[in-house]
Amino acid sequence: QTLEGHLEEDNIQERENNSEPSHNVTPLLLDSWKPCRGLRANVKELLVMLSRCLGSVCGMRWYGFAALGMLTAILSFLMDLSVAKLLRAHQWLYMRLEGHILLQFFCWTLYPACLCAFASSFSHNISPFSTGSGIPEVRAMLAGMEMPHYLSLTNMFAKFLGLICTLAAGSTVFLGKVGPFVHLSTMVGAYLDKLCCLIQGKQKEEAGTEMLVVAAAVGVASCFGAPVSGVLFSVEVMSSHFALRHYFPCFFSAACGALTFHLFFVWSGDGETLQALYKTNFSTSLPFFPLEILLFALLGLLCGALSCCYLISHRWILRFTKTNRFFCQMLTTEKGLYSGLIVFFLASLTFPLSAGQYMASKYTTKQLLTSLLESRQWSSQSHNASVLLASLEWSSSGTPIFLSLAFFLLMKMWMLVLACTLPLPAGYFMPVFVIGAAVGRLLGEGVAYMSSGGETLWISLNPGGYALAGAAAFSGAVTHTLSPALLAVELTGQFSHAVPILLSTVLANALARSGNRPSFYDAISISKKLPYLPSLKKASFQQQSYGQFLCLGPLTLSHRDYTNGFLSSLLLSDSKLFLGYVLRSELLLFLHHCQTQPKSFDYNLYFHIVCFLPSQAYSVLSIAGAHPLFVADGGKLVGQITWSEMQQILEGLAREI
Amino acid sequence: QTLEGHLEEDNIQERENNSEPSHNVTPLLLDSWKPCRGLRANVKELLVMLSRCLGSVCGMRWYGFAALGMLTAILSFLMDLSVAKLLRAHQWLYMRLEGHILLQFFCWTLYPACLCAFASSFSHNISPFSTGSGIPEVRAMLAGMEMPHYLSLTNMFAKFLGLICTLAAGSTVFLGKVGPFVHLSTMVGAYLDKLCCLIQGKQKEEAGTEMLVVAAAVGVASCFGAPVSGVLFSVEVMSSHFALRHYFPCFFSAACGALTFHLFFVWSGDGETLQALYKTNFSTSLPFFPLEILLFALLGLLCGALSCCYLISHRWILRFTKTNRFFCQMLTTEKGLYSGLIVFFLASLTFPLSAGQYMASKYTTKQLLTSLLESRQWSSQSHNASVLLASLEWSSSGTPIFLSLAFFLLMKMWMLVLACTLPLPAGYFMPVFVIGAAVGRLLGEGVAYMSSGGETLWISLNPGGYALAGAAAFSGAVTHTLSPALLAVELTGQFSHAVPILLSTVLANALARSGNRPSFYDAISISKKLPYLPSLKKASFQQQSYGQFLCLGPLTLSHRDYTNGFLSSLLLSDSKLFLGYVLRSELLLFLHHCQTQPKSFDYNLYFHIVCFLPSQAYSVLSIAGAHPLFVADGGKLVGQITWSEMQQILEGLAREI
């Protein structure tokens, strides 16, 4: 077959592709439930007119980006509002039952248990794709996988309601909001993208990826009102090659989102003006002593080491739930019951009249973080018996705050690992952030206590600064990212500690990444058999030489290679050498051959084989987009392959399995 | 010729390449001046031993990154120290001559004129590549151009000393430090890279690009002690596709640089602890009213419009100095004299006893920025006759501060445009930042004046916030970047205004980029005939369709295409369609054909023809690096081309011309 034949084929295919999107859009509209047909037509006409007017100012996509930011911020605000109401209701009920210990116990445990059981079964029944964080799935979509179910409106609805229930369960379940919000944001983005295409009457282009990248930034920005760290998060977690053309849209949309989020807070009467979410009041005249830099570096290393422990136990529980028969059965058939039982167990442990009193369990997650970030020293306050409200909960039982903090850390760590197995929409970033803050606080209080005891050199030491640095360092190390350093600054509006925070985060990251271990998201990706290319690329620092495989001709794949571990070892080390190119026919043969032995088939590994073997070719293909790359066979050009073609092959295989 | 033949050829070439670096290193060491041969050998042995010890902790490159950050920060600190001393000497002399107006005039004018004349002729004679900002050159190097002269140690020495002289000329010449510092940092980086390779005994790999990307981030980070905006600057200005593997090294090195810079300041006794360079004390309880957001948006648009005026006049003067015979001759033969004359002219205008008193010319650039960022209102202070020290200079002549500010803006704008023609090492970012601050201050003072006159709704309005937002917006719009928004925050340590600053910057950028006009750096690139790919790509938002050129076969270039303006129109619009591929033979023919008519040859345009015509192919090629892409001729594979090959062709052509 000559190239021309291929080109003609491609031409036809392209024409088909061009006509396809309109097919795609119309069935969707016809199939879905459609009230008020006439009104819809009118609205559509109006929208077309409006789009012409707006289009004269700037491109339609800019309105899409602005709308994405605003809508996500409104969703975020609504969620915060309803969660706050549900939490207050629980608190009110608990206070009302004062004196009846048994009733209080049931109120404390059954409320979150019911909420989580509901969240679990509801989200599973409406859309099974809505559980978990969503970040690994969004990453996979950005890497080129097509997962339309993950972007449906039904999924958004299920995820939104489920997440409200999860968050309303409070600090007992101790789960966060960031991850699902990034997912929610991508769903809003995908919908707006479709809408923009519909209004413009254009066929769908590769703008979809752009919306996804932007949506990832907006998710974080709208969740905390932190635009810059949102963009950095998008750069880090989402794409191995960040294209500069996404940079401005990301910032634009994130700024819109953060602004809307803050303005809603002002309008709802929560603040006089636009302020940081967890505003602190550290002393700005002397935020820290220069020598404390060493302590911050130590804190970073400590957080890095702790994060390794946490990640190991997280990976262990992910494996355990897959291999243990009881867990496996519960998680596949009785999701609601499982969630309810686990949360009941967690809640009974945190009951304030039993062990809960030693771990400030009455605080909500927000209150926990606020108290940990307080600038005044706790230990000296309890010394002088002038116990303040903020530290009241930590020393309510009369135990020293050091013991409280240590007990809190010990308990929350394994409880969080257990909570990560819950099959409900939940984020895992915020709890990690709080645990990091507790680690930092513990070190800070210790240093403050020791320095106040002896000489008076460091009289005004601020343990809150350590808590902030610890939070950034630990969450950064767990997720293998640096954006938490900026997030810590944006959350508190405290810029004076920027340099020590960055130092701790960088050191914690260096330690956490040193062994080429998978990050938190990578571990979930592995467990869900999703591709997790970016982190593998990121982690590849050493350049090992696979001299014997440096062949410039096409590489021949054999099943032996796959089984005897050569390929997996290759994948784990991601050598940066050009190993060769895989022929299309070869690839197909290889994949079909392996398919006959379904026992040994691992989709995730396959994706990597295809992507990695021509190590650079993946980047080339993913950037080349629809443009074909030539495929040669023994020096003769036999055809060309595009990224979408390769994807189709892979997806077809995945479906068959 | 078959592919196999090519592959063999390539194999041989590769082997040659592998042996080349050792050739490269050895002659360099032999040719250069070498004192104490024995000592050097000992030191080298020691270094090899040390490297083995260090290498066991982490890769050699990490020490390189850390050293890069620290060295650049030390250079930055030394420069600041010497500049401060030189400025103080000038001030002291000027004060001593109090009473002798003529002597004062000569002191005021001749001091900077001599310094600049020295800087100009010195840097030209030592290394002609050391003049100007250096950012366009660094960008070109990152795009793949090889410019070894720009990375030599001689160039570094000339640039360092020249820059000190330029900065010591003070606010009269009104030039900055950032651009040359990025260039200096890349020179340090290139040297460290060589050193790392030498110590490891490895051949030089493509790590060079990595060092350049990291060095760009470190340059900004060490210049202001602002690590995060340094990294963002590197992402924005430097590369069209930012690879994630550079992200962590960038942050690591920038954090090292910023930390060292701050620590040196503490150790020199300039501050008690690590603080922002231009620390402000805005009120944190109510930094701004929610409705002020609209004013910040207005300020952004205003700055965007002003930046367009500034850029137009800058482009005009760049063209003027090339076409005007007098300027042209002066700039080619009498650089020192030209600099001296221009600076004398500028200085005589800013003489404090004449026009200078209306534009606060006694302030240094640093004092100017500090006074502009002051949080207290100037206008009300002069109303109540309680004139404070900070605003003293602005109303020293008794004129209202509004007139002073407006006069300052008017004069400084065209003076800066003129100063941009000076052939000496100088940065153009800081002056733009200060002018933006003045624009913001003017608006802020106006609003504060009006609101204090009427109702008492906005009693505690802070004009400093507007100055900060204006500075970020104007400098962002001029350079077409968003990182100044973060730089403004990092410079002042003022996070409370982050959202309005970001909003202003985004809007100013949107306006400045709307017409697809070149940015400040692009204009210099055009004037110096350097490739400036990233910005063209960045600016391409609309997707025009060139339907008739959507051919899937190879595109034939003809000289007619070039002359009748089709290609240039194509280049300006950068359509995102795949236009076709250029054959290597075709390309060579075309280039050689055009070369016979040297009149019509424009190197910059050529680069773009090659890069743009296969629009995506540029990205593919530049990322594919050393890996070949196939070149087809009428459906038959005729060979392959690599990025370096294409570069060689281009460089060969450039040299011949």
Least confident stretch, A185-189, B107-111, B137-141, B550-554: B550-554
Residues 45-104 of B with CB under 8 A from A: 58-59, 62
B303 pLDDT band, cuts 50/70/90, is very high
Q: Are A619 and B619 an interchain contact pair (Cβ–Cβ within 8 Å)?
A: no
Closest CA to B461 of B448, B442, B477, B446: B448
Q: What are the φ and ψ backbone dihedral angles of A605, each rounded to 5 degrees?
A: -65, -40
Give contacts of A 615-644 with B, CB under 8 A. Answer: 616-617, 619-620, 623-627, 630, 632, 634-637
Indicate yes or no: CB of B502 within 8 angstroms of CB of A251: yes
Query: Where is mean pLDDT largest: A569-573, B458-462, B473-477, B592-596?
Result: B473-477
Higher pLDDT, A76 or A458: A76
* B 284-343: CB under 8 A from A: 284, 286-290, 293
Instruction: Dump the DSSP string for B507-543.
Output: HHHHHHHTT----HHHHHHHHTT---HHHHHHH--S-
- From CA B87, how far away is CA A182, in angstroms rounded? 52
Provide the token pair at A201: 């009457």
Confidence at residue A648, expressed as pLDDT on a 0 to 100 scale? 60
- Contact assessment for residue B595 and residue B657, using Cβ atoms and an 8 Å cutoff: yes
Secondary structure (3-state) at A557 = coil
CB contact under 8 A, A248 and B538: yes
User: What's the whole-number mean pLDDT along residues B23-49?
Assistant: 67
Which band of pLDDT confidence, cut at 50, 70 and 90, is reported for residue B466? very high
Mean pLDDT of the residues in chain A:
75
Residue A621 or residue B481, greater confidence: B481
Residues in A 526-585 with any Cβ partner in B closer than 8 A: 534, 537-538, 540-543, 552-553, 578
Q: Which chain A residues are within 8 Å of B632, Cβ to Cβ? A: 3, 630, 637
Q: Which of B1, B2, B3 to mutate to test the interface with A (most CBs of A within 10 A)?
A: B3
At residue B453, the pLDDT reads 62
Q: What confidence tier does B625 reach under pLDDT thresholds 50, 70, 90?
A: very low
Pick among A2, A499, A535 to test the B interface (most B CBs inside 10 A): A499
Bridge-based pairing of strands A636-641 and A629-633 is antiparallel
Do B251 and A502 lie within an 8 Å CB cutoff?
yes
Structural domains in chain A, sorted by start:
50-268 (1.10.3080.10), 569-656 (3.10.580.10)
CB-nearest partner of B490 from A10, A62, A498: A498
Q: Is there a contact between A284 and B286 if contact means CB atoms under 8 Å apart?
A: no
- The three state secondary structure string of B607-624 is HHHHHHCCHHHHHHHHHH
Q: What pLDDT band is residue A117 in, cutting at 50, 70 and 90?
A: very high
In this prediction, the answer to ipTM > 0.85 reads: no
Taking residues B538-543, report their average pLDDT: 33
Q: Is the pLDDT of residue B188 over 60?
A: yes
Q: What is the pLDDT of residue B75?
A: 93
User: Across the interface, do B552 and A10 touch by the CB < 8 Å criterion?
Assistant: yes
Residue A513 pLDDT exceeds 70:
yes
Mean pLDDT value of segment B4-25: 42
What distance in Å separates the CA atoms of residue A376 and residue B9, rounded to the nearest whole number?
A: 71
Of A496-505, B43-52, B115-124, the least confident: B43-52
Residue B87: predicted pLDDT: 93
Instruction: Give the closest of B244, B627, B632 to A3, CB-based.
Output: B632
The amino acid sitting at B59 is G
Higher pLDDT: A146 or B616? It is A146
Mean pLDDT of chain B: 75
Answer whether A619 sits within 8 Å of B616, measured CB to CB. Answer: no
* Residue entry with tokens 């051959």: A593
Residue A547 has a pLDDT of 25
What is the distance of C-alpha A510 from the center of its chain?
20
pLDDT of B650 reads: 52
Confidence of residue B404 (pLDDT cuts 50, 70, 90): confident
Q: Which residues of A touch B635 (CB under 8 A)?
A: 2-4, 7, 637
Q: Return the ∠ at Cα B453 (arms to B450 and B457), rounded to 5°.
A: 80
What DSSP designation does B235 have? I
CB-defined contacts A:B, below 8 A: 231
CB of A231 closer than 8 Å to CB of A244: no
Those residues with Cβ within 8 angstroms of residue B435's Cβ, 6 or more apart along the chain or in another chain: B409, B412, B413, B416, B474
Name the region of A385 (left: φ>0; alpha: ψ -120 to 50; beta: rest).
left
Tell me how far apart the alpha carbons of residues B516 and B104 are, in angstroms, rounded to a whole number: 47
Over residues B580-613, the pLDDT tens digits come to: 344 445 555 555 555 554 444 344 344 433 433 3
Residue A613 has a pLDDT of 36
Mean pLDDT, residues A127-137 taken together = 86
Residue B558: its pLDDT value, please?
A: 41
Residue A128 confidence (pLDDT) above 50: yes
pLDDT tens per residue across span B410-459: 999 999 999 998 999 999 999 999 999 999 999 998 888 887 765 555 56
Convert A352-389 to b/e letters by CB count within 10 Å (16 or more is b): beeebbbbbbbbbbbbbbbbbbbbebbbbbbeeeeeee
Supply φ then ψ for residue A556, to 5 degrees. Answer: -100, 125
Cα separation of B535 and A73, whole Å? Answer: 31
Q: Write down the pLDDT at residue B359.
A: 83
Sign of CA dihedral B460, B464, B469, B474: positive
CA distance B449 to A275: 25
Contact criterion met (CB below 8 Å) for A514 and B256: no
CA distance B183 to B219: 7
What are A211's two structure tokens? 């919306």
Using an 8 Å Cβ cutoff, are B482 and B508 in contact? Answer: no
Grouping H, G, I as helix, E, B as strand and the rest as coil, residue A629 is strand
- Which residues does residue B427 pair with via DSSP β-bridges, in sequence order? B176
More confident residue, A24 or A406: A406
Handedness of CA B92, B96, B100, B102 (dihedral sign): negative
Answer whether residue A556 shows pLDDT above 60: no
Closest chain A residue to the Cα of B480, Cα to Cα: A248
| B247 against A639, higher pLDDT | B247
Report the run of H or E that residue A369 belongs to, with start and end: helix A365-372
Token representation of residue A46: 């109006």
Between CA B340 and CA B190 the distance in angstroms is 33
User: Taking CB atoms and an 8 Å limit, are B499 and A240 in contact across chains?
Assistant: no
Is the model's pLDDT at B620 over the cut of 60?
no
d(CA B379, CA B402): 8
Secondary structure of A497-510 in the HEC alphabet?
CHHHHHHHHHHHHH
Q: What residues of chain B lie within 8 A of the CB of A277, using their CB?
A: none
Mean pLDDT of B528-555: 39
- Interface contact A252, partner B, CB < 8 A: yes
Tell me: the pLDDT tens digits for A465-484? 999 999 999 999 999 889 99
Please give, one letter per residue, the 3-state secondary structure of B25-90: HHHHHHHCCCCCHHHHHHHHHHHHHHHHHHHCCCCHHHHHHHHHHHHHHHHHHHHHHHHHHHHHHH
User: What tens digit of pLDDT does each residue of A362-420 get?
Assistant: 888 888 898 888 888 776 654 444 445 445 677 777 778 888 889 999 999 999 999 99
- For residue A506, what pLDDT band results from cuts at 50, 70 and 90? very high
**pLDDT tens-digit series, residues B346-382:** 999 988 888 888 888 888 888 889 888 888 877 665 4
Quick check: helix, strand or coil at residue A79?
helix
Beta-carbon separation of A273 and B289 below 8 A = yes
**What would the mean pLDDT of A42-49 be, rounded to a whole number?**
83
Query: Among candidates A445, A443, A511, which has minimal Cα distance to A476?
Result: A511
- The whole-number average pLDDT for the span B340-350 is 92
What span, in angstroms and rounded, lies between the C-alpha atoms of B657 and B644? 20
Share of chain A above pLDDT 70, in %: 69
Q: Specify whether the CB–CB gap between A160 and A128 falls below 8 A.
A: no
pLDDT of A75 > 90? The answer is yes
Bigger pLDDT: A584 or A412? A412
Determine the pLDDT at residue B204: 55
Average pLDDT over residues A599-606: 41
Q: Do A236 and B247 touch (CB under 8 A)?
A: yes
pLDDT of A586 higher than 70 = no
For residue B381, count other CB atoms closer than 10 A to its CB.
17
Handedness of CA B225, A480, A136, A410 (dihedral sign): negative
pLDDT digits (tens, 9 = 90+) for A246-287: 888 899 999 999 999 988 888 887 777 777 778 877 777 777
Percent of chain B with pLDDT over 70: 69
pLDDT, tens digit (0-9, with 9 covering 90-100), for B175-184: 989 889 999 9
Taking CA–CA distances from B237, the nearest residue in chain A reads A244
Tokens matching residue A523: 């571990």
Displacement of CA A182 from its chain's centroid (Å): 7
